[in-house]
């Protein structure tokens, strides 16, 4: 009996030690929530069947106006990524197994794709596939179809990305695709790629052979390892990580057989010094062919975080500092549920449980300094100019302090403001011409630069106000002429409206309802022909015509 008490005492001591290595970091105000992403000092979370963004240490919670999904789709809908200026989020699509993809930017929700499959976000950019094609979306620009479905792809926060078609890995940058790496034979395929700054880690596999892992460091490419027993069909891409030149990867060194041997899977870390080290080993039970420890990340110092999920009671997260033994961190069964999320940011690991953020091992792990690459987004206090009274304020949002240049062109020859530390540019409406005006910003840190741009529309087009709009802001419609879509702005967000598009002969082309929005993006069906149309905007609250406009479709 004493032995039993001793066993449970040791078990309790181990559990308490594990809990002591994580501490409460932050609670979201307002009650239960499910945290989805953590970036800078903002949290993206799900509560009451809707997405929200919360600024830490404030009472500010931004509600993203998205319709609630059906109950069966809640697991599918809870997918979102924070960006520097907002977020990308998804909802269930009208097609099973697909999602609708949206961007929340400048307090406006825009639908990017109704039926997307794979989605990957990097910085303020997104890649996705849909119905056999591969697409790229940049802020303030139209979606670009890049190619047919790739084997794999990865997005850089700086705006360039990699994707593979058969035996070639391509780099897409500044509107053009160039070969980045090519297999020696057409039987080789690229199954995995990840980007960290200028470093690229990719895996190439030949049929019926173990794949090879390669690392490109910005100048040269070398072989990291030949992965024994690891095929794309066995492990998903979480099994290969890159950070600050450190590479972690899985190797199945022993396959379990009965009754001779047990399964053994090892995780190695090749440091940025080129030395390969054994960082974690998992041994399986008899009668099991494989065991699967999951790599959850590598820090700047080369420390490895692994999730172990086996038949033994010491399941949980294990951290292995470079050149040190593995130590137990946090059990998987935490407050009766699985740890739903883990993020590495600001040289520390954070986990999520319900509406709380926890920091792992608060005693700290001292990382190596990592080079900082600039990232910038450009926003404006208004995207439409319809009078000569309102000053246009352009603000560049950099990830770190830097130097900023504003210009009218992408080559930065027609400068609006020369390079300095001021990230804000104020312009009088007279500085803009009628119709579209592009403004570019360049951020520089040392020899590295990043750019972004925004489009400002200047128009003197007046809407046709109804009687209920006396002494109120006028409804405007832009751009006019339009090609595929147009924006209606000046609606009252507390009201419901009916939009009806008429042909000149009075035929109703389509009718739609808009509820509780200040502005709404209208995307007519592709079958709408070129010509002149009249848009009627009807206020359902007052049962009166609130406004309208004559539109030209080009």
Q: Do 376-458 and 476-553 have matching folds?
A: yes
Confidence at residue 144, expressed as pLDDT on a 0 to 100 scale: 92
Confidence at residue 231, expressed as pLDDT on a 0 to 100 scale: 54
Confidence at residue 488, expressed as pLDDT on a 0 to 100 scale: 84
DSSP letter, residue 482? B
d(CA 383, CA 392): 9
Cβ-contact 376, 452 below 8 angstroms: yes
Query: CA nearest 435: which of 465, 407, 455?
Result: 455
d(CA 279, CA 294): 13
Q: Label residues 491-503 b or e (16+ Cβ within 10 Å = b).
A: bbeebebebbbbe
Phi, psi (degrees; rounded to nearest 5) at 468 = -75, -5
- The sign one gets for the Cα dihedral 496, 455, 445, 194 is positive
Domain positions in the chain: 236-333, 376-458, 476-553
Confidence at residue 119, expressed as pLDDT on a 0 to 100 scale: 93
CATH 2.60.40.10 fits domain 376-458:
yes
User: Which of the residues in the chain have pLDDT under 50?
Assistant: 1-20, 68, 70-76, 232-233, 311-313, 332-338, 365-370, 461-472
What is the pTM for the complete model shown?
A: 0.61
Give CA angle at 180 (179, 184), nearest 5°.
85
Strand runs labelled E in 84-220? 86-92, 99-105, 108-116, 119-122, 125-130, 133-137, 144-148, 153-155, 161-165, 168-173, 176-182, 188-196, 199-206, 212-216
Confidence at residue 10, expressed as pLDDT on a 0 to 100 scale: 36
Q: Which residues contact 68 (CB under 8 A, 6 or more apart)?
A: 49, 50
Confidence at residue 16, expressed as pLDDT on a 0 to 100 scale: 33
- Can you give the length of the chain in residues? 554
* Inter-CA distances, 127 with 138, 389, 400, 472, Å: 9, 39, 25, 41
* Token pair of 416 as six digits: 């609006």
Query: CA nearest 492: which of 464, 511, 512, 520?
Result: 520
Cβ-contact 383, 392 below 8 angstroms: no
**CATH architecture for residues 476-553:** Sandwich (2.60)
Q: Tell me how crowded residue 36 is: count the other CB atoms within 10 A of its CB.
A: 21
Query: Got the DSSP string for 177-191?
Result: EEEEEE-SSTTEEEE
Using left for φ > 0, alpha for ψ between -120 and 50, and beta otherwise, residue 193 falls in: beta
Q: Which residues contact 283 (CB under 8 A, 6 or more apart)?
A: 262, 263, 264, 291
């Amino acid at each position: 009996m004493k032995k039993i008490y001793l066993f449970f005492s040791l078990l309790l001591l181990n559990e308490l030690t594990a809990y002591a290595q994580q501490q409460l970091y932050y609670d979201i105000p307002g009650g239960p929530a499910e945290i989805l992403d953590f970036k800078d000092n903002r949290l993206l979370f799900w509560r009451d069947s809707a997405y929200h963004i919360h600024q830490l240490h404030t009472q500010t919670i931004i509600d993203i106006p998205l319709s609630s999904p059906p109950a069966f789709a809640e697991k599918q809908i809870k997918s979102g990524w924070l960006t520097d200026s907002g977020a990308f989020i998804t909802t269930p699509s009208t097609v099973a197994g697909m999602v609708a993809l949206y961007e929340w930017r400048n307090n406006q929700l825009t639908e990017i794709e109704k039926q997307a499959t794979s989605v990957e976000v990097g910085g303020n950019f997104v890649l996705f596939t849909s119905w056999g094609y591969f697409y790229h979306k940049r802020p303030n620009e139209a979606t670009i179809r890049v190619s047919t479905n790739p084997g794999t792809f990865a997005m850089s926060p700086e705006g360039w990305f990699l994707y593979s078609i058969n035996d070639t890995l391509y780099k897409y940058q500044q509107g053009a695709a160039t070969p980045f790496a090519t297999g020696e034979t057409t039987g080789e395929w690229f199954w995995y790629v990840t980007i960290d700054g200028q470093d690229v880690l990719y895996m190439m596999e030949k049929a019926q052979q173990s794949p090879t892992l390669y690392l490109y460091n910005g100048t040269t490419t070398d072989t990291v390892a030949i992965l024994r027993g690891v095929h794309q069909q066995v492990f998903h891409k979480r099994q290969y990580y890159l950070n600050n030149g450190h590479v972690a990867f899985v190797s199945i060194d022993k396959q379990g057989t009965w009754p001779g041997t047990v399964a053994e899977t090892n995780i190695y870390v090749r440091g940025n010094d080129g030395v390969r080290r054994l960082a974690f080993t998992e041994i399986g039970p008899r009668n099991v062919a494989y065991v699967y420890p999951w790599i959850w990340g590598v820090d700047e110092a080369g420390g490895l975080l692994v999730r172990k999920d086996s038949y033994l009671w010491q399941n949980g997260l294990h951290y292995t500092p470079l050149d040190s033994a593995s130590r137990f961190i946090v059990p998987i069964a935490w407050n009766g549920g699985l740890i739903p999320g883990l993020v590495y940011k600001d040289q520390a690991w954070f986990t999520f449980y319900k509406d709380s953020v926890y920091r792992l091992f608060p005693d700290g792990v001292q990382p190596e300094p990592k080079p900082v690459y600039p990232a910038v987004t450009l926003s404006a206090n208004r995207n439409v100019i319809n009078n000569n009274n309102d000053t246009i304020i352009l603000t560049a949002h950099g990830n770190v302090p830097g130097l900023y240049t504003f210009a009218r062109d992408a080559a930065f020859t027609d400068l609006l403001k020369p390079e300095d530390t001021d990230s804000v540019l104020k312009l009088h409406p007279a500085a803009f011409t009628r119709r579209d005006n592009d403004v570019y910003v360049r951020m520089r840190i040392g020899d590295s630069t990043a750019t972004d741009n925004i489009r400002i529309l200047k128009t003197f087009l007046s809407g046709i106000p109804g009687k209920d709009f006396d002494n109120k802001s006028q409804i405007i419609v832009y751009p006019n002429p339009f090609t595929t879509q147009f924006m209606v702005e000046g609606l009252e967000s507390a009201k419901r409206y009916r939009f009806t598009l008429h042909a000149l002969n009075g035929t109703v082309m389509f009718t739609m309802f808009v509820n509780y929005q200040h502005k709404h993006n209208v995307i007519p069906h592709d079958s709408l022909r070129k010509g002149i149309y009249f848009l009627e905007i009807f206020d359902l609250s007052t049962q009166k015509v609130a406004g309208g406009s004559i539109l030209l479709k080009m």
